[in-house]
């Protein structure tokens, strides 16, 4: 009887050890995309979540580990109404303030315009601009200087959009795409497909219009998706280019994103990639900027900082520095 009991205990102990070893050897389950009624939810930028922990059984060996480094405090003096710092590859939000607050985006909305229209026309396609192409350009708009009757390649037009934030170039491309309102509706549909639910599109160029809003989170998403397209990445990172139509047939244009061009008292940010700046009286200064350091790319969005000279660029630089250190 005593021998049977000892044998049973020994067998039970060996079985428990075997089960524990098998469980510990199991890989952590892959995270399935959350679904609703059988449909995958659209991508949203979200804070990082830890991996599912391995099971711990009574008496099991617990391996040593290094505790996660405490999150660094966000830099002081950030006055923007909303901001995000996002990992461009994973979409993990490193830090944010009111990232889903709906605000006027100004020309940062041109990133969504490019996501929607850029893939449709080859860069060497030529457009002879008509009066209808330029109809309705908003008063006080930023312009690259498109002229009626002038021939432009699609690449010229996109350089006008990204470097000079030219609303005239946006109008021409929107007309090529089926018209102003049709393009706005297509942009809205594109935003919803991406899961950018904070965005309402009224004007493809970002010109102020009642009800037109986006968020720091959505704009970061547009930039991340855009940078996956080689043409988008090239245009948004171009500092200088020649543009048709000057007195000698072409003229130099410089990117208005001072963080990229290093102009008007702003130093070029180390590792800067792009993406797009903007300003309207309603939106204030807005900026999406991406930079790469040690093989890692971050996207920062800064919306409407207090009215100080170059504040949008200084705050974006401070947030990028913080994000690269915070990990």
254 exposed, middle or buried (CB, 10 Å; 0-12, 13-18, 19+)? middle
Question: Inter-axis angle of helices 110-117 and 216-227, to 10 degrees?
Answer: 40
Q: Is 107 a catalytic residue?
A: yes
DSSP H or E run through 136: none
List 84's β-bridge partners, or say none.
Answer: 96, 301
Residue with tokens 């075997």: 18
Instruction: Decide if 96 is catalytic.
Output: no
**Three-class HEC string of 264-311:** CCCCCCCCEEEEEEEEECCCEEEEEEEEEECCEEEEEEEECCCCCCCH
- Which residue in 97, 92, 93 sits closest to 74, CA to CA? 97
User: Which residue is listed with tokens 């998403």?
Assistant: 221
Q: How far is CA 56 from the centre of its chain?
A: 39
Query: How far lies 7's CA from each of 11, 59, 192, 194, 251, in Å?
Result: 6, 20, 65, 62, 92
Query: Which of 138, 139, 198, 209 has its CA nearest to residue 171?
Result: 138
DSSP code per residue over 170-190? HHHHHHHTT-HHHHHHHHHHH
Query: Which of 110, 190, 225, 314 is an active site residue?
Result: 110
**β-sheet with 284-293: strand ranges across:** 93-97, 82-87, 296-303, 284-293, 272-280
Q: Which one, of 140, 200, 186, lies nearest residue 167 by Cα?
A: 140
Considering the candidates 96, 142, 165, 214, report the single residue annotated as catalytic.
Answer: 165
In whole angstroms, give the CA distance from residue 105 to residue 107: 6
Q: Does 110 qualify as catalytic in the annotation? A: yes
Cβ atoms < 10 Å from Cβ of 74: 18
Catalytic residues: 107, 110, 165
């Amino acid at each position: 009887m005593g021998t049977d009991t000892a044998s049973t205990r020994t067998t039970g102990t060996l079985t428990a050890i075997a089960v524990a070893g098998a469980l510990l050897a199991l890989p952590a389950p892959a995270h399935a995309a959350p679904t609703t009624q059988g449909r995958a939810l659209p991508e949203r930028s979200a804070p990082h979540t830890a991996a599912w922990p391995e099971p711990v059984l009574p008496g099991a060996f617990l391996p040593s580990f290094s505790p996660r480094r405490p999150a660094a405090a966000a830099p002081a003096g950030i006055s923007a109404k909303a901001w995000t710092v996002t990992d461009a590859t994973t979409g993990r939000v490193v830090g944010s303030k009111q990232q889903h607050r709906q605000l006027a985006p100004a020309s940062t909305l041109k990133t969504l315009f490019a996501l929607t229209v850029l893939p449709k026309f080859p860069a060497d396609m030529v457009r002879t601009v008509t009066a209808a192409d330029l109809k309705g350009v908003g008063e006080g708009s930023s312009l690259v200087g498109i002229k009626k009757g002038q021939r432009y390649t699609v690449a010229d037009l996109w350089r006008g959009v990204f470097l000079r934030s030219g609303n005239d170039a946006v109008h021409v491309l929107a007309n090529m795409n089926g018209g102003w309102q049709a393009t706005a509706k297509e942009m809205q549909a594109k935003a919803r497909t991406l899961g950018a639910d904070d965005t309402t599109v009224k004007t493809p160029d970002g010109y102020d219009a009642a009800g037109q809003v986006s968020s720091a989170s959505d704009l970061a998403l547009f930039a991340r998706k855009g940078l996956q397209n080689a043409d988008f990445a090239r245009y948004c990172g171009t500092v200088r280019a020649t543009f048709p139509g000057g007195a000698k047939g072409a003229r130099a244009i410089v990117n208005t994103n001072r963080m990229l061009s290093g102009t008007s008292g702003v130093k070029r940010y180390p590792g800067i990639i792009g993406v797009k700046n903007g300003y309207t009286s309603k939106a204030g200064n807005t900026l999406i900027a991406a930079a790469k350091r040690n093989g890692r790319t971050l996207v920062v969005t800064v919306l409407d900082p207090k009215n100080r000279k170059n504040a949008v660029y200084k705050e974006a630089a401070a947030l990028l520095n913080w994000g690269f250190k915070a990990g």
